[in-house]
Amino acid sequence: MIYQSAKQTAFSGQVLCLLVLFTVALVTGCGKQTSPNKPVETSMARYSLRGDLPNARPNHFVGSDACRECHAAICDQFAKHPMGKSIGTPERMETIETYPSGTIDVAGKRMYRVEQNEGVVTHHEYELSPDGEMAFDQAEPISHVVGSGQRGRAYLIFKDGIFRQSPIGWYSTDDRWDLSPGYTPDNHQRFQRRVGDGCLYCHAGQVDSVGHDRYAKEPFVEASISCERCHGPGEDHIAFHRKGDVKDQSLDPIVNPDRLSVSARESVCNQCHLQGIYTIPRYGRSFNDFRPGDEMEDIFVCLVNPPSTGDEDTSRVVSQVEQMRTSQCYIQSQSLLGCTSCHDPHAPAPSENRHGYYADRCNACHNDRGCSLPPAQQQESPANGSCIHCHMPADTQTNVPHTAQTDHRILRQPMEKRSRSAKPKSPSTAVEALQVFGHEKLIPTWEQSRAVGIAMMTQAWRTEDLNLARQAITKLIPATTIQAGPEAMIAALTPDIPSLNEVASYLWLTDNPEAAATCWEHILELAPDDETALAGMVLASRRRGNTQDATRYVDKVLRITPESPQWLTQKTKLLWEQEQFDQAFETAEKLLQADPTLTELRQWLADSYREKGKPDHAIVHEQTLKRLGQ
C-alpha cells in the first residue's frame, strides 16, 4: 500500500498547509494594501551558504525489455516478484479484488462502491437521503493500481499530469474493501490526496517527470520496479557486451549489488524499505537521483526516531530496516547480515514451503547450535518447526489496517517477552528528537542541520509553533546571518529552493509578511511553477488586499492543478469580489463537481442564485441540500 508518511519531502506538505490558512468563507473581507517588495540585493551575496548545484546523475536507462535479451529466465522470475508487480493499469494487473464491491459503509454518511466494466475500474463516493434517494454520486475512473496484492492495493486517478489517490483500498488479508491507509471515517481528503515523487519513487520503476510531483501525459517510462532500480542504468552495460570478446568482466559498468560494500549493498534496499519520519533529498538532489552503487546518504538525509533503549515493549511500528539493526543477529554479524541474507531479490519465497525456506537461511548461521527446544516441541502447533513463527512473528501493530508486519528484531524469546510486556508504545514523532540514519560522516554537518531544519520548520508551520520555527531557522542559517535580516537570509540559501521555502514560512510565522513575500517572489524567479511559493503569493496578495495579484497567482496554480478544490474556492471568492458573478458561478459549479460534499458552498450558491435572479439554479442546489439532510 502507499505509505504517505514514508518517502516524502518534508516541504511537500506546505502547499496544503498554506491553503488551509486561506481557504476561508466565500464572502469574508481582506487586509489593507501595503507597499511592494524590494528585490534581493546582489550585495548580499557575501552571505551565501550554498555552492554550485551538484552534477546530474547518469540517466542512460534502457528499460527491462532490453535486459530480457540475455536474462530472460531472471526477467520471467522477477515478473512474479511483488516488486515486479508494484504498479500497473487495471487492465494489465491480475484481478484479485471482489467486483462489484457492493456498498462499502466505512465513513459515516458517505458510502462507496467499486465497479469493473471491461477492464475499466471506477470508484464511487455517494450519499443517500433518509428515504434512500441519491444525493450525489461522484465517480472517478482509476488509472493505476498500486501494489502486487500480497498485502493489499491502492488506487490512483491520473488527470492533468497529477496523481491523486482514492480513499478506498483493497486489503488482501481480509479480502475486503476499506479506507486507504491514512484516511479516517470523519475527516479525509476524499479523491484529493496528491501522490507525488516521494510515493512513486518506491512504488514505480521510472517516472516521466515534468516538475515536482507532476508528470507527462504518459507518466511512466517503466511502471513496475525494474532491473535498473537495483543494477543501475543499462545502456553502457549493453554497449560493453556488444563489443564482442570482452576478457575483463570487472570492467562491466553494470552494478552487481553482491560486489558492493556492505553499506552500498544495503542502500539498494534501504532506498525504499527504510521508512523514516522524514526523508529529505540532499541539496540539489531529488528522489530520482539515487543510483545503485551510491550510499543512500549520498542522496538522502533520513530522519528516524532514536533507537530503542533495550526495553522490549518498545514499539515495533518502525521500518523493518530499523528493527533489523537492533537485532543481535545483525550486531553479532558485524553488520554483514543484510536484506539479501534472507530475501532473494529476484523471486519471492515459495508459498508452499515458506517456513522451510527461511529456516534454511537461519541455519546458514545457526546450524551448529540449532533450536534449544526439544525436537518434539519444535514441531508442535502452531510453530510446526518454523524459526520465523517464534522469532519473527507477524505483528499487527502497523500503520496499515488489516495487515501484519514481520518483526525483524529477531528476538531470542519473543513469545515470552510479548506475553509479559505491555502493549507496544507508539514511536515518538517529536521532530526535535529525530536522528540522522546511517553513516553521518558521509553527510556534511551543514546538510544534516539543513534536513533537521526543514523537518522542524515543516512541523512548526503545520502547528503554528513559533518557538519551534525559531529553533528551526537556526538549523538552516547561522545566527549572524539571521541578525543581518531577511535579505541576507534569502541570499544565504539561494538557490536552495526547499530551504528558501522554509525561510518564507519562518518570516510569515514571525509576522514579517512582506519579507516572506520577497522570499516567495525570489523562489518564483528561480522556479516559476513552484506551487508552495505560488500558494504563498496568493496568501501575501490577499493580505495586501491586492485582488488582481491574488487572481494572477491563483490562475497560475490552476494551470498546474485545474481541479483543486482549494484553488477553485479561492478563484470563486476572487471573481465574486470583482463582481464577475457569472464566472464565479461557473467556477463554483466546477468546484462542486470536484467535491460535492461542500454543503456550505452549495448553500451559498443557492442563496446567491436567488439574489441574482436565477431561481431555477437555486432550486437545484436546495433540492440537493434537502437530500443531504442540510
pLDDT averaged per 10 residues in sequence order, the chain, 630 residues: 39 42 36 41 70 92 95 95 95 95 92 94 95 95 96 96 97 94 88 95 94 95 96 95 80 93 95 92 95 96 80 60 90 90 92 89 85 86 88 78 81 60 52 89 95 96 94 96 96 97 97 98 97 97 96 97 95 97 98 95 97 96 92
Does the residue 573 lie in any domain? yes
420 and 519, same domain (yes or no): no
228 and 314, same domain (yes or no): no
Does the residue 150 lie in any domain? yes
Does the residue 186 lie in any domain? yes
33 and 126, same domain (yes or no): no
75 and 40, same domain (yes or no): no
495 and 618, same domain (yes or no): yes
Taking phi over 0 as left and psi of -120 to 50 as alpha, with beta for the rest, 402 belongs to left
Distance CA 486, CA 504 (A): 9
Q: What is the CATH number of the domain that holds 39?
A: 1.25.40.10
79 and 37, same domain (yes or no): no
pLDDT of residue 190: 94
Cell of 98: 471482489
From residue 58, alpha-carbon distances to 68, 232, 267, 288, 295 in Å are 22, 9, 18, 11, 15
Residue 420, domain extent:
308-350+388-425
Contact 204, 213 (CB under 8 A): no
pLDDT of residue 557: 97
Does the residue 193 lie in any domain? yes
Contact 551, 542 (CB under 8 A): no
45 and 81, same domain (yes or no): no
Does the residue 55 lie in any domain? no
45 and 100, same domain (yes or no): no
Does the residue 467 lie in any domain? no
pLDDT of residue 258: 93
Torsional sign, CA 259, 262, 264, 266? positive
Contact 197, 189 (CB under 8 A): no
pLDDT of residue 308: 65
Of 220, 254, 288, which one is at a domain's C-terminal end? 254
Q: Is 446 helix (H, G, I), strand (E, B) or coil?
A: helix
Does the residue 451 lie in any domain? no
Does the residue 181 lie in any domain? yes
Torsional sign, CA 12, 14, 17, 23? negative
491 and 623, same domain (yes or no): yes
239 and 313, same domain (yes or no): no
The number of distinct structural domains making up the chain is 3
The number of beta carbons lying within 10 Å of the beta carbon of residue 536 is 28
118 and 217, same domain (yes or no): yes
27 and 125, same domain (yes or no): no
pLDDT of residue 399: 67
